[in-house]
Structures are given as C-alpha cells and as structure tokens.
Amino acid sequence: MKMHSGRFPKFSKGNKGAMQILLSDLSKQLNNMVEIIRALTNLVRKKLNTLLIIDIHVQDIVSYFVRDTVVSADQFEWESQLRFYWDSAKDDCCVKQCTGTFQYGYEYMGLNGRLVITPLTDRCYMTLTQALTFKLDGSPSGPAGTGKTETVKDLAKSLALACFVINCGDGLDYKAMGSTFAGLIQSGAWGCFDEFNRINIEVLSVVSAQLKSIQNALICNSNTVNIGTGSDLVIKRTHGFAISGVFITMNPGYAGRTELPDNLKVSFRPVTMVVPDLQKIAESMEGPISTKYHDDVTDEKDLHSLEEESGYKQACVIGAWPVLLHKKGNLLKKSLITAGFFNKAVGWDGLSLMLEKFGKDYSP
C-alpha cells in the first residue's frame, strides 16, 4: 500500500481530487480484473481471487479516506493500516502498523487463499501487532465461528510467517507445551493455541512461567532463553527482530473451560471477536462480480428484473444470489464455490434454476 501514501503529498500541494482519482483508478482496475476472471483455469482463478480480495480491501480503505477527508500520512486512519515498505538501508521488506515495525518473513505459503478483510479483521490485526510491538502475546476470544483462529493465520500470511495451530485439551502437560514453545522460538514461527482454556489449571500455572521467561528475554534483547527444557534456546531473529509469536483463542462461557490465572492473563492482549460483516464476506468470497449488484438486490423480484435487464446473466447468478441469501439470513459459505463446479455440468440456466430453488427452500 506504499503507492497510496504518495497521494498525500499531492493533496497537500493543492490537488484536492487526488484521493478521488485514486479511488476511481482502483475501481476501474477491480472491474477489469472481474471481466478477465471468468475464462481462466482454476489455478489462475485462485491467484486472481486472492488479488481481488486484497484490491477490494484497498478500495474500501481509499473510499473511507475520501469519506472522512483523510489528507495526511500522519493521520491515524493511515497509520492504523498494515503497510508494506522497502527499507533501502537493510535492503529488505518491512511491514508497519501504528507504532510497530516488523520484518517480512518470506515464508512460502502456496496458493491457499486469503481471509476476507473486514473492519473486524482490521481491528484484530491492529491489536495483535501492537501486542507484538510491546513484547506481549495476543488472545482473540469470542463465540465459535467469528474467525479467531483464521484471523491469526491470515495475519501470519500477511507477514509471510509460518503459523501452526495447536488444538489444546486436558491431555497437554507442561512438558509438551515447553517443547512446542522451544520449537516456535528456534524456528521463528507463530503458534496459535486453539481452545487454550481447556488446558488444566495446574499446567497453565507452569505455562505462565514459561511465557514470562520468553517475554523477559525479548524485552532484554537476549539471544537465548531458558524455559525449563534443560538447555538454553536460541531465539531466531531477522535483522535483530524476533519473529516468533504465541497466540491463544478461547470460547468463554462453555462447559469444561478453565479460568486463566491472573499472572497468565497479563501476558496476553485481549481482543473480542464478534459477528463478522456477512454481506462484506459474501461480496468478496462469492466473486467480486457481486459488488456490482448487491445494492440493487433486496428480494427475488429484484433479482429476476436485474437478470433480464443485465447482459450478464452469469454475473447475476453468481453475484446477486449469494447476497440475497445473506440478506435473508442464510450464510452458506461454500454455496457459490460449489455452484461454480456445477456450472460445468448443468450450464448457467440449470445453475440459475438450482440456486433459485435453493433460495426458496431455505428462506427463513
């Protein structure tokens, strides 16, 4: 997003329409990508879908800047974004957000997709990066299905760092936790401990001491740390920056969950995850084509009239139907992904009838 920061000097020099011009350019770029994404192989389509998810997020950010008259790179609205720069002094890529600066990890991720970025995702990113800045760890909590684990994994993808998810339970002891921490520290990877509060309270007491030793070593810029595994562990650093991190997710209020000790709570910066913006996720996941039509679709009648008026019957089917289902209260994440495969077998007419019947059968 470095290229967008160049618009602020233009604004300060008197070009009051610089941000609106950028927003227009981004919209044209997004629409052009939508036009070419229809006739591609599955592999290339996955690549472009990842780019489109990021481009839609960038477009949303610029639209917020236009709406809120953000005119300086020093304003919080810009500083709070995850920004990528090339550091000429280190000849390396760095990532900045608020007061934190992180080194790009260059971890190969493959073509595994990206999480749709919503305002909730941005707030969680900011909380977790600030926790890492102050040598703390992060603790997203909230009901099931709000994206706690996926948000941590997606932030690791943004920083190109390996992230390993560990499902916790009462079978974990302090030795297993110590071995896991040792591996994360020495490899420079992130660990996301899912359902962390299912671990027994006796184990959590020892885990608290292990995490405190790690955090003290990071604060003191020590090259090694001893967490009770029998030897000093070398902390992996990139340009002097320790890139490992520990995150925990919790579902509060469920049976069989342990209340974390106070000395463990202070090691984590909490962030509460709530119900995400389902319509925003629908627009990005079910295909950016839906962004052209979602404002005009409120019921079946609007859908069919739009389909008749529009020259893009496919666009209406794969773009408007998922949004209609979301507005009616149904969130079926894979509805359109599955429909894309059915298209090859039944064609657009058959697909349209299938989704129409699906909408009628499952309307609340």
Length of the chain: 364
For the beta carbon of residue 118, count every other beta carbon within 10 angstroms: 20
What local confidence, expressed as pLDDT, does residue 274 receive? Answer: 84
Angle subtended by helix axes 278-285 and 42-68, to nearest 10: 140
Full-model pTM = 0.75
In sequence order, what are the residues at sequence separation of 6 or more whose Cβ sits closer than 8 angstroms to the Cβ of residue 232?
Answer: 224, 225, 226
The DSSP-derived string for 92-154 is EEEEEETTEEEE-------S-------HHHHHHHHHHHHHHHTT-EEEEE-STTS-HHHHHHH
Please answer whether residues 138 and 273 qualify as being in contact, where contact means their C-beta atoms are separated by less than 8 angstroms.
Answer: no
CB-based contact 250:197 (threshold 8 Å): yes
The per-residue pLDDT for 22 is: 81
| pLDDT of amino acid 58 | 87
For residue 229, give the amino acid letter.
Answer: T
CA gyration radius for the chain? 23
CA distance 210 to 173: 13
For 82, the enclosing helix (H) or strand (E) is: none
- Cβ pair 99, 162 in contact under 8 A: no
Q: Would you write out the chain's pLDDT as a tens digit for each of its 364 residues?
A: 444 555 555 555 656 677 788 888 887 877 777 667 666 777 887 888 888 888 888 888 888 888 888 888 888 999 999 999 999 988 999 999 998 999 999 998 888 888 888 888 999 999 999 999 999 999 998 888 788 999 999 999 999 999 999 999 888 899 999 999 999 999 999 999 998 988 988 899 899 999 999 999 999 989 999 998 888 999 998 877 888 899 999 887 676 677 888 889 999 999 998 877 766 776 666 554 444 444 444 444 444 454 444 433 333 333 444 444 444 434 344 444 444 444 444 445 555 555 555 555 444 4
In a 3-state reduction of DSSP, which class is residue 226? Answer: coil
Angle at alpha carbon of residue 334, lines to 330 and 338, rounded to 5°: 125
User: Which pLDDT score, from 0 to 100, does residue 327 have?
Assistant: 42
Predicted confidence at residue 288, as pLDDT, reads: 45
Helix (H, G, I), strand (E, B) or coil at 224: strand
Q: How far is CA 252 from CA 134, 273, 324, in A?
A: 25, 11, 32
The three-point CA angle 63-69-71 to 5° equals 105
For the chain, report the end-to-end CA distance as a whole number of angstroms: 41
The pLDDT, as a whole number, for residue 149 is: 92
For 176, phi then psi, to 5°, come to -65, -40
What's the rounded Cα separation, in Å, for the pair 7 and 78? 12
Sign, Cα dihedral of 29, 34, 35, 37:
positive
Alpha-carbon distance of 131 to 94, in angstroms, equals 17
Tokens in use for 101? 């600066």
Closest CA to 238 of 128, 130, 161: 161
**pLDDT given at position 343:** 47
Report the pLDDT value the prediction gives residue 41, as an integer from 0 to 100: 76
pLDDT of the residue at 303: 43
Measured over all CA atoms, what is the biggest interatomic distance in the chain, rounded to whole angstroms? 72
